[in-house]
Chain A
Amino acid sequence: MVFTSLTFVEFFLVVLIALALCRTRWQRQLAILLSSIFFYGYWNSWYLFLLATPSVIDYYCALRISGTQVEKRRKFWLTFSVVSNLGLLGYFKYANFFVHSFGQLLGRDVPVLHILLPVGISFYTFKTMSYTIDVYRRHIEPCHSWWKYAMFVTYFPELVAGPIVRASVFLPQMTRSLKPSWPRAYVGLQLVALGFSKKLLIADRLATFVDAVFAHPPIYSTGTIWSAVVAYSLQIYCDFSGYSDIAIGVSRIIGFDLPENFNMPYSSTSITEFWRRWHITLSQWLRDYLYIPLGGNRKGKFRTYVNLTITMLLGGLWHGANWTFVVWGAMHGFALALHKFWMDINKDKGIKIPGFLGWSMTYVWVCFAWVLFRAQNFSTAVLIMRKMLFIDSVGVEYVYFWLFAIIPFVVLAHLLGRYVNDGVEAAGRRKMYAPLWAERLYTGTSRFAIRPHPLAGTYALIPTNSFALGLLLTGWAIVFYLFTALDSSPFIYFQF
C-alpha cells in the first residue's frame, strides 16, 4: 500500500474514524496496531511472520537483559538479539548477493535462491536492534507490554521506509491520548501535502527523464547526462524526503511526533554537513551503533578515518545488495575521512574553504556518487561518469523542461530555509536581534510563516492570512491536479 495511492487514503480515513470512535487510549493503541498489521500484510501476508519474529525475539531479549546484572548474560542476550536481526536481514536481503559474488569469485555459475525481499526489512531490523542495544546500554528501560512494543515495531507510517525511530523517542509518546485533534491535523495535513507535492509533482516528473537517460546513456551528450544526474539528485531527495514528510505528517495527525529525516541537505558546504542533513535518522543510527562502537574518534586520527570509511561502506551495503551501493558508501566514507583529515590539519591554521567552493565540491561529489547509486551496474556507471568528465561527450542534447522549471523552486526553498534558520539561530547565539523579516518568518508573525516543525524539523508553510490561504490552497490544487505525473512510480527507498 503506497502512500500516494487512493487505497492508502481510504485506509487512513478508516484509521482516523476508528481512532475517533475508540473511547480509551488502550483501544486506540490496539486500533493502530491492527491497522499497522493490515498495512504491512496488504503487501504479502507472509511478511507478517517475518515482522513478528523481531517483535518477539527483541522484546524477550530486552527483558532478559534488564532482568539480570550479570554482564555475561546481558551480553549473551544482546548478542542473540543482534545476531537474530542481522541473520534475518542477511538471509532475506543479502543471501543471493553473497552467493552470487562468491560464485563469481570462484568463476562458477551459482543458482539464484528464490527469496522474496520483504518491504522495509532494513528499516525495522535497525529499529528493533537499536532497542535492545539501548536497553543493554541502560539508556532506556525495557517495554513491559508486548502489545506496546509490537505497536512500536509495526507502526505503519514509518514501517517501510523510515524515518528510523528509536524506542527512546517513540515509547514515551505512548502515554498520549492519540485522539485526533484539529491543531495536530492542521500541521500534519500540511506536511502530507508537502510530501505529496514533492513526490508527485517533482520526483515522478523527473523520474521519466532520469529513467530514460540511465537506460541508454551512450546516446546522450555530456550536458544531458549531467542534467539527468542533477535531476536524479533532486528526484531521490524529493522522493525520500517526500515519503518522510508524509510519514511524519500522518503520524502527526495520529498523535505521534517522528524525528526529522532531512534538513535541506543540498545546501551543505561540506560532506560532513551533508550527512548531518541527509537521512538524519540513519546517519545518527550508524554513528551511535556502528561508528562509536568501532572506536569513533577515540583511537587516534588514522583509526578515525578508517572507522568513518567502514561505517559508510556498511551504510552503503545497507541500502542494497549490490556492489554499486558498497562503492557508493565507500565514496562517501572516503570523502568524510578526507574532510576530517582536512579539518584536522587546518584546525590551528584557521584556513576555511569559501562557502560557495565548499558547496560546489560537496554537491558535485554527491552527484558523482549518485551515479553509482542509480546505475544498474558498474559498466553503466562508468559510462555515465566518463560522459560527465567530458570523455566521449557527443550525443543527444535533451533539455528537459521540468528540470529547469523545478530547480528554481528547490533552490529558493533551500536558500529561504537556510537564511531563516541560520539567521535566527546565529542571532540567538550572539544575543542579537535577527533581521526583522527573518524573525517574522521564523516566529510566524508575518503573513507567511515558514517555521521549523517542532519535532520533525520540516519547514511548513503556514499562511496566517485568509486571502493568502485561499490563494495558496487553490493555486496548489490547480497545479497539483494539472501537472502531477499520470503514473506514480514506487518510492525509491521501498526497495531497501
Chain B
Amino acid sequence: MCALELQCADPVKIRVRAYGDRIKVKKMAQQLVAEERSIRASRTRKVRKHRHAWFWFFCGAGVAVLAAELLLHPISGKYETPAEIEIRNFREGQASTHFLPNGLRLTGNPQIPGAQAVLIIGDSHVEAFQIPDDQTMGARLEDKLRASGKQWNAWQYGWSGAEGADYIFAAPMFLEKFPTPYIFLTMNDGDFRTNLGEQARISDHNGTVVAEGLVPNAIRGREPSFGGHLARKMKESGLIYGAALRFQLDLKPQWKEHTASAQDAFPPNGASSVELMEMIVRGLKQQYGDKLRIVYMPPQPFSASEPLEPAESLLIAQCRAQGVQCRSIRDRMIHELTVNHQLSRGFSDTEPAKGHLNARGHQLVADEIFDWLNSN
C-alpha cells in the first residue's frame, strides 16, 4: 500500500490512497484534520510521558541506592591498604575493626617494640568483628598489664569458624610467627565439632595427633582479597559489602548470626565425645607444649546451680588428666550477671545472652588471663 497526500487550500484536505489497482480519494474537513493531528500529538505525548515515567522511576531508585550507601557507609564495608585492613560490621553489634596484614587484631594501643608479648588465639570471639579495637580482650589485657607496670604487648589472632583441629594444624605457624612464652587459647562449645569419622581432620599416628586441612587466614594472615583492585574497591561500598555478607549468611546457614548452639553437634556424627576431646587436648599439648593455657568461654549461664554443659566438663576433665592448664570464665560470668546485672554475651541488636562475647565478656576473659599471669 502506498499513500499520497495532497495538501489543498483551506478548508479542505484531500488524501489519495492507492490499493493495487484501486485508488481511494478522501476529502477531509479542516476540523477532522485538526482532530487527527491532536490524536497524533496525544500519542506522542503519551510515549514521551511513558519514557519520562521510567526515567523518573530509575531516578528514584538511584536516589534510594545513594541514600542507602550514605547511611551504610559508616557501619559497613571493608577497606584494605598495604598497612592495615579495616572492617566495619553492623550485623551483630556495631564496630569498626582493624587488622594487620599478618592477621593480628589491633588493640588501639601503641605496640611497644621488642616488649614481652602474650598471644591470644581463638575463633570469631577473638576476631571480634562486633567489638571496637579498644574493648577487645587483648586491649583490656594490655591496659591492665601496663597499668600494673608490665610494659607488655597483647597479640590477638582469631579467625571465624576455627575449631580444635584448626588450632592444632595452625600451631607451627603461630609458634614461628609470634614467638612468646604465653599462648592463651580461647575455646567455646563450638570448638569440638571435628569429625572423627571418614572425613576426620585429626588422627592418631603412633601417639601423635595430626591435623589436616586448610586454614587460609591462619596460614597467610589477612592478605588482600581475591579479585584485585576492583573487588577491593567494591567492598568499600557499605551497600555491596552488606549485601554480600547477607548473601553469604543466606547460603551458609551455619554462619547465621553465630547464635546457633554447637551443642547439637557435640559429639559429632556419633563419635565418642571423650575420645574426641582427648585427642584435641593431646594434640594441642603436643603442638604448643607448656606455653599453652586454655580459657573456656561457656554459653551465658543464668545461675550457679546450672549444670556444666558436656563440652565444658569434658574439656576440664581432659585438661586435668593430661596436665594442660585450663580455666573457665563461667564463675566470672555468673558473678557479672548476679552482682553487676550484666550479660557477657549478646548485643543490643541481637538476642540477649546469645551469640558472641560482648564488651563485658571480653573484659572477663582479659581479667581471667591477667589473674592467671599474675598467679604465675
Contact = CB atoms under 8 A, between A and B. Distances in A.
17 contacts: A208-B350, A216-B353, A395-B341, A402-B349, A466-B52, A466-B54, A466-B55, A467-B63, A469-B57, A469-B60, A470-B60, A470-B61, A471-B60, A472-B60, A474-B61, A474-B65, A482-B242
Contacts of B59: 467, 470
B239 A478 contact: yes
The 8 nearest A-B residue pairs measured at CB: A470-B60, A471-B60, A474-B64, A470-B57, A466-B56, A474-B61, A470-B61, A467-B60
B354 A397 contact: no
Interface residues of B, number: 38
Contacts of A474: 60-61, 64-65
B68 interface: yes
Contacts of B372: none
Contacts of A482: 72, 242-243, 246
Interface string B235-258: 000010011001001100000110
Given A466-B55, A467-B59, A470-B56, 5 more contacts: A219-B337, A399-B348, A468-B60, A474-B64, A478-B65
B64 A486 contact: no
A487 B257 CA distance: 10
Contact of B348 (A211, A400, A466, A487): A400
Interface string A78-109: 00000000000000000000000000000000
Contacts of B323: none
Contact of A475 (B68, B242, B249, B257): B68
What DSSP secondary structure best describes chain A's contact surface?
Answer: helix
A213 B62 CA distance: 41
Contacts of A394: 341
A395 B343 CA distance: 10
A221 B352 CA distance: 13
Contacts of B62: 470
Nearest to A482: B242
A468 B60 CA distance: 6
Interface of A: 208-209, 211-213, 216, 219, 221, 394-402, 465-475, 478, 481-482, 486-487
A221 B239 CA distance: 37
A346 B67 CA distance: 54
B60 A213 contact: no
B63 A219 contact: no
A487 B256 contact: yes
A470 B352 contact: no
A442 to B, nearest CB: 24
Contacts of B349: 400-402
Contacts of B350: 208
A469 B56 CA distance: 9
A465 to B, nearest CB: 7
B60 A466 contact: yes
A212 B348 CA distance: 13
B242 A397 contact: no
Given A466-B54, A481-B246, A475 B64 contact: yes
Nearest to B347: A401
A471 B61 contact: yes
A216 B302 contact: yes
Interface of B: 52-65, 67-68, 72, 239, 242-243, 246, 249-250, 256-257, 302, 337, 341-343, 346, 348-354
Contact of A473 (B54, B61, B257): B61
Contacts of A219: 302, 337, 341
A466 B60 CA distance: 8
A394 B57 CA distance: 53
B144 to A, nearest CB: 25
B5 to A, nearest CB: 37
B254 to A, nearest CB: 11
A475 B53 CA distance: 18
Contacts of A470: 56-64
Nearest to B355: A208
Contacts of B337: 219, 396
B255 to A, nearest CB: 9
A467 B65 CA distance: 13
Contacts of B341: 219, 221, 394-397
Given A475-B68, A478-B239, A486-B257, A208 B53 contact: no
A481 B246 CA distance: 8
A331 to B, nearest CB: 28
Contact of A213 (B72, B243, B352): B352
B243 A481 contact: yes
B109 to A, nearest CB: 29
Nearest to A485: B257
Contacts of B342: 396
Contacts of A216: 302, 353
Given A466-B56, A473-B61, A478 B348 contact: no
B343 A398 contact: yes
B243 A471 contact: no
A216 B249 CA distance: 28
Nearest to A473: B61
A452 B346 CA distance: 41
Contacts of A465: 56
Nearest to A218: B302
Given A211-B351, A398-B352, A482-B242, A466 B53 contact: yes
Contacts of B250: 486
Nearest to B58: A470
A216 B346 CA distance: 14
A209 B348 CA distance: 10
Nearest to A398: B352
Residue with the greatest number of chain B CB neighbours at <10 A, chosen from A469, A481, A486, A487: A486
Contacts of A221: 341
A471 B54 contact: no
A376 to B, nearest CB: 16
Given A470-B57, A486-B249, A398 B64 contact: no
Contacts of B52: 466
A377 to B, nearest CB: 18
